[in-house]
Structure 1
Amino acid sequence: MIKRIATAVVLIPIVLLLVLRAPVFLVAIVTGAVALVTVHEFLKLTEAYGVQPLRKPTYGFVALFFLLLVINVGQEKPLLSTDFFGIAAAFAAAIATFVFLTIAMRRESLATGYPGAAASAFGFAYVALPLAMLVQLRQQWAGAFLILYLLLVVWAGDIFAYFVGRSVGRHLMAPRISPKKTWEGAAASMIASLMIGGGILYYSASVSTALLGWGLIARRDGMFGLERPALLPLLAL
């Protein structure tokens, strides 16, 4: 527990400064590194199920995708770059399946090829693409606030899941994969996320004003950014 708290004390300020103040290209670089680590953990999980994923090709594909993202980021006006990013992400997801299947068919045992290619393609779509979308979101109006909102909601859920799971958790979710996670903790995580998320959203203008006053964000990075007419239709969704 002490190790968790110490890690949080060190990393949380760094993450917040990265999200709120760092240039978008640096956010893309760090997010790419996180994507590689996360994909690595995901592929380890698939191996526990007896699947043999394409490790090196997957790492290479994820790294190349984020390299192209770093090169492209900030080159266009944010609202105009969204369509391009959507097309690029869809193309990357489609081509990933083709690339991994082509490599997997060169294995001596074809029985392991398809599951391995499927695991690698799913890892890219499930892990790398959502993280890349955070980079895209960061360069939008109010992007910094929305990512901060997401982080706070996730952190709140994790904190409540940890303490509730340790204190009253009895029903295990996945004993072989994560022995300490319980359904009670999961329920606490959901409730905490909804409560914290609702509270932050309700006071979003005040939070944005405070962050602006402290010099942590520019005006376009707070909820003030959603005052722009071009984004108003999104608020009704």
Structure 2
Amino acid sequence: MKQRIITAVIAGAGFLSLIIIGSWPFTLLMVALATIAMSELLKMKQINYFSPIGLLSFFLMWLLLVPEAIMSTDWLHINKFEMFLLLIILLLALTVITKNSFTFDEAGFVILSSVYIGFGFHFFIYTRFLDQGLELIFFILILVWATDSGAYFAGRSFGKHKLWPEISPKKTIEGAIGGIILAFTVGVIYTLFIPLFVSFVTTVIFIIVVSITGQLGDLVESALKRYYSVKDSGQVLPGHGGILDRFDSLIYVMPILYLLNLI
């Protein structure tokens, strides 16, 4: 527990400081975190980081992650998403060229992992540089943390009905509801002091979307770890596991907020 608290204080202070600073230090942090998260996924799949497929996985993820202003492909007369599509086609062709020593399953893993990590952290960067981006990022973080805390304490106090025992045996329906209630309470208080949306209805929708999809993002990573029979995604954060263990909710929430036009 002592190690867990020390890690949380040091890592949390550094993380929040770089969010406040913004600019290139924040962007570099996101690139570093996304790269570590991608390496954790590759390790689960037992793909060597420095193998051709491992390096291509990182490159695909960076294509989606890094803003156009920093990593432009204009000089190739092709945009990043066209290049991403071209590389997917080449990956699929590789399953034939290698006579299935590189399989369709591995190709699918590489593609889906790069989208999962790349877009998740990309929209974290995107949100930080919006008008009121700092306030919005902190709002999202507070909602995710409130959801986690509310779910934990409500689950311990009132939890009787399992939410999804095949994926995460300890999570309960009562805990999930408790997480949403605490997120709603904290979120409304936050927006009383820092208004972010024109209407209260939008605020409520935003809070509910973040709280529910944040919990779903946590379950997605739980399903992934259960499938690959690992307890934690990594050991980069002593007492807390890996980067994916800490950012699973956030990188799932961010693209959904973008798709719903909430950021």
Smaller-chain TM-score bracket: 0.5 to 0.7
Residue 12 of structure 2 corresponds to 12
> Which of these residues, 120, 133, 143, is aligned with residue 143 of structure 1?
133
Confirm or deny: 8 A CA contact 2:91 2:107 kept in the other structure: yes
- State the number of aligned residues: 188
For 1:110-121, what aligned pairs fall within 5 Å after superposition? 113-121=103-111
For 1:143-222, what aligned pairs fall within 5 Å after superposition? 143-175=133-165, 177-205=167-195
Separation in structure 2 between the aligned mates of residue 185 and residue 27 of structure 1, nearest angstrom: 33
Q: Tell me the amino acid that sits aligned with residue 183 of structure 1.
A: I
Q: 1:196 to 1:173 in 2, by over 3 A?
A: same
Residue 71 of structure 1 corresponds to 70
Separation in structure 1 between the aligned mates of residue 174 and residue 5 of structure 2, nearest angstrom: 22
Separation in structure 2 between the aligned mates of residue 37 and residue 184 of structure 1, nearest angstrom: 33
Compute the RMSD of aligned alpha carbons: 3.6
Confirm or deny: 8 A CA contact 1:104 1:116 kept in the other structure: no
Between structures 1 and 2, the one with greater helix share = 1
Shift of 1:165: 3.0
Confirm or deny: 8 A CA contact 1:172 1:181 kept in the other structure: yes
Return the index of the structure with the highest Cα Rg: 1
Shift of 1:31: 0.7
Q: Tell me the amino acid that sits aligned with residue 180 of structure 1.
A: K
Separation in structure 2 between the aligned mates of residue 10 and residue 162 of structure 1, nearest angstrom: 23
Residue 57 of structure 1 corresponds to 56
Report the TM-score when normalising by structure 1: 0.62
Separation in structure 2 between the aligned mates of residue 173 and residue 106 of structure 1, nearest angstrom: 44
Separation in structure 2 between the aligned mates of residue 95 and residue 153 of structure 1, nearest angstrom: 38
1:27 matched to 2:26: yes
Separation in structure 2 between the aligned mates of residue 204 and residue 94 of structure 1, nearest angstrom: 41
Separation in structure 1 between the aligned mates of residue 175 and residue 43 of structure 2, nearest angstrom: 24
Shift of 1:92: 5.8
| Higher deviation after alignment, 151-160 or 60-69 | 60-69
* SS in structure 2 at match of 1:186: helix
1:37 matched to 2:26: no
Confirm or deny: 8 A CA contact 1:100 1:120 kept in the other structure: no
Confirm or deny: 8 A CA contact 1:173 1:182 kept in the other structure: yes
